[in-house]
Amino acid sequence: MNAVAGKALTSNHFELFGLEPVFALNADSLDSAYRDIQAKVHPDRFAHAGDAERRASLQWTTRVNEAYRTLRDPLQRARHLLGSKRCRFARLAAKGPGRGTTPA
């Protein structure tokens, strides 16, 4: 599980799976990356481990499942992409046209 532990520090789902942050995602690449990570962190692998390791495995599994569900759904993927890019469009749109802001 240590091999993927560094990826937990990122909130970017694309980084978690080692994928380019693009909307036109290759579903086979996502599925393959998901299976690879789950093979390392699935709770069944830690059934006889200590409490801390089992708890970490459950947290990892939850994180991986959430990221996978987000990237599989086109609308959620788009939201994640916009959020991860710190997209200025939403902030500018909220201020409206002619309110002293110029798009960068």
Q: Would you list the domain boundaries of the chain?
A: 2-95
**Mean pLDDT lowest for which of 27-31, 60-64, 91-95?**
91-95
Handedness of CA 13, 11, 43, 41 (dihedral sign): positive
Over the stretch 70-81, which tens digit does the pLDDT of each residue have?
999 999 999 998
User: What is the Cα–Cα distance from 19 to 32, expressed in whole angstroms?
Assistant: 11
Is 0.85 topped by the overall pTM?
A: no
How many CA atoms are closer than 13 Å to the CA of 6, on its beta-carbon side?
3
Distance of CA 48 to the CA centre of its chain: 28
In the CATH scheme, what is the code of domain 2-95? 1.10.287.110
Q: In the structure, how many helices (H) and strands (E) does the chain have? A: 6, 0
